[in-house]
Amino acid sequence: MSYETILVAEADGVATITLNRPEVMNGLSSTMRRELTAAIHDVAGRARVIVLTGAGRGFCSGQDLGAASTIEGPELERVLREEYEPMLNAIYDCPIPTIAAVNGAAAGAGANLALAADVVIATRSAVFLQAFSRIGLIPDAGGTYWLPRQVSFARAMGAVLFAEPVSAEQAEAWGMIWQAVPDADFAETVRARARHLANGPTATYRLAKAALRGGLDNRLAEQLALEARLQGQAGATEDFREGVAAFLEKRPARYQGR
């Protein structure tokens, strides 16, 4: 499958999707949103982990304002419902682990695109910016959902109202992202993390994601029931049988599950 605005590379169970509009800091156009959604659905059926990153010096500047200068009112709502929601759901609901490798600035919808992934790894020089209020908008692309859950209500509110950059190190300290690494170590760190997940128990990862996300909204009784049901499914997988066998035989596990 060929694309105009993204690059897709697959090797050793890792699918790397690169936002490829560096001339506009990988701003999200309608074509990019459509292609990114299609690519995630496509590679999820073959790969064991997806890495999402950006070309050039930035991860994603958010909505391409040059391409959207005439979008307002009801049309803006339509774009969010028909173009952003499928893209974000494709990432969030992906059955395999997803890593956002934030190689530079992630602003507006670009910041929230990264937060849709399971794990965010960023260069220390990267920043996250909820820039919406600078142009008279509220956060979208899932920002009002993820931020309060990840960094606390108070920090989310401050990030939104002041629209000030949050450094990668600050984002790590807040719990917004998993890891901020020195720029020189970034590429190898992402590769190592992706290899780890690609070699891991894919079926188990899928169930663990479902359990953790259920816990965001469930009451304790509901969550305990969900845990029991999903653990029952995990215990019936080849991943579980292989994991136990490897432990007893004192050897590395060789997971093959999906």
The CATH number covering residue 94 comes to: 3.90.226.10
**What are the DSSP E strand ranges found in 35-144?**
49-54, 58-60, 98-102, 105-107, 119-123, 127-129
Q: Are residues 178 and 210 in the same domain?
A: no
pLDDT band per the 50, 70, 90 thresholds, residue 86: very high
Same domain membership, residue 220 and residue 154: no
What is the domain range of residue 60? 6-198
**Structural domain includes residue 46:** yes
Rounded CA-CA distance 59/53 in Å is 6
Residues 127 and 46 reside in one and the same domain: yes
Same-domain pairing of 210 and 89: no
Do 172 and 223 fall into the same domain?
no
10, β-bridge pairs: 15
The answer to whether residue 258 is domain-embedded is no
Is residue 69 over pLDDT 60? no
**Residue that is last in its domain, among 183, 198, 213:** 198
Burial pattern 51-76, b for ≥16 Cβ within 10 A else e, equals: bbbbbbebbbbbbbeeebeebeeeee
Residue 207 binned pLDDT confidence (cut-offs 50, 70, 90): very high
| Mean pLDDT along residues 193-208 | 96
